[in-house]
Chain A
Amino acid sequence: AIQMTQSPSSLSASVGDRVTITCRASQDVGNDLGWYQQKPGKAPKLLIFAASSLQSGVPSRFSGGGSGTDFTLTISSLQPEDFATYYCLQDYNYPFTFGPGTKVDIK
């Protein structure tokens, strides 16, 4: 199975900060990578699919990049509602695998 890692595992940031989260796959997954946001007690929410395509309704401050094994999720100007945990998911082949998550909290 493809292993996914994320860095950092957690970060503290302020409203207005630019935040970048990295996801790395143990083998080439092309562009088959999504990013999900999860708030406590809630179901995950799709932010980005195909590595860089913004899901409908998601604010444009979220962007995704990368291909192959290295990917990024960037929040250009962190908003109060963005404090959450973020997960990458490779959907290149089965079994799909999530990264361990990056928790973004308030500095």
Chain B
Amino acid sequence: DVQLVESGGNLIQPGGSLRLSCVDSGFTFSGYSMNWVRQAPGKGLEWVSHISSSGTTYYADSVKGRFTTSRDNAKNSLFLQMNSLRAEDTGVYYCARDSSCGTYRYSCFDSWGQGTLVTVSS
């Protein structure tokens, strides 16, 4: 079974930096695109970033220039480096595997971690 485990969430002051990790077990990590999705307390889901199997990245406008997604396929790991953190970055951060479902390989987030909480506050 696929298992994604996030870590690295913490209480951090505004303007600070934090690095989240997501480690997979149970699937061929290197062959999949991965995403970060976050959820502010009591709010809806917000897509944050995508990294393809080859390392191409895309970001939400709200984090572009501040967040960097990377991966280490040898360690089956996904990372989210978050700089210049703001109060509005507070929330639970999920990593999600994109399995490219169906004949035409549609995007589909079919496996998710349990989430890690980031709190940005002074």
User: By the criterion CB–CB under 8 Å, are A32 and B59 in contact?
Assistant: no
Q: Which residues of A contact B46 (CB under 8 A)?
A: 98
Is A25 interfacial (CB 8 A cutoff)? no
Total interface residues in chain A, CB < 8 Å: 26
Q: Which of B37-93 contact A (CB under 8 A)?
A: 37, 44-47, 50, 58-61
Q: State the Cβ distance, A85 to closest chain B Cβ, in Å.
A: 8
Closest chain A residue to B114, Cβ basis: A43
Which one of B37, B59, B60, B108 lies within 8 Å of A34 (CB-CB)?
Answer: B108
Interface size class of B (residues with CB under 8 A): 20 to 34
Distance in Å: Cβ of B96 to nearest Cβ of chain A: 8
Interface flags for A52-79 (1: CB within 8 Å of B; 0: not) read 0101000000000000000000000000
Q: How close is A100's CB to chain B, nearest CB, in angstroms? A: 5
Q: Tell me if B102 and A49 are in contact (CB < 8 A).
A: yes
Query: B7 to chain A: closest CB distance in Å?
Result: 15
Residue of B102, B106, B109 touching A44 (CB-CB under 8 A): B109
The answer to whether B44 and A100 have CB atoms under 8 Å apart is yes
Contacts of B104 in A (CB 8 A): 50
In contact, B107 and A34 (Cβ under 8 angstroms): yes
CA distance A97 to B61 in the complex (A): 11
Bound state CA distance, A1 and B47, in angstroms? 12
Q: Is B101 an interface residue (CB 8 A)?
A: yes
Which residues of chain A (16-68) have a CB below 8 Å from chain B?
31-32, 34, 36, 38, 43-46, 49-50, 53, 55
Q: Are A46 and B47 in contact (CB under 8 A)?
A: no
A1 to B58, CA, bound (A): 13
Given A49-B106, A53-B106: A36 touches B45 (CB 8 Å cut-off):
yes
Determine if B115 and A1 form an interchain contact, defined as CB atoms under 8 angstroms apart. no
B68 smallest CB distance to A (angstroms): 15
Q: 8 closest Cβ contacts across the A-B interface? A: A91-B107, A43-B112, A49-B108, A94-B58, A50-B106, A96-B47, A101-B44, A98-B45
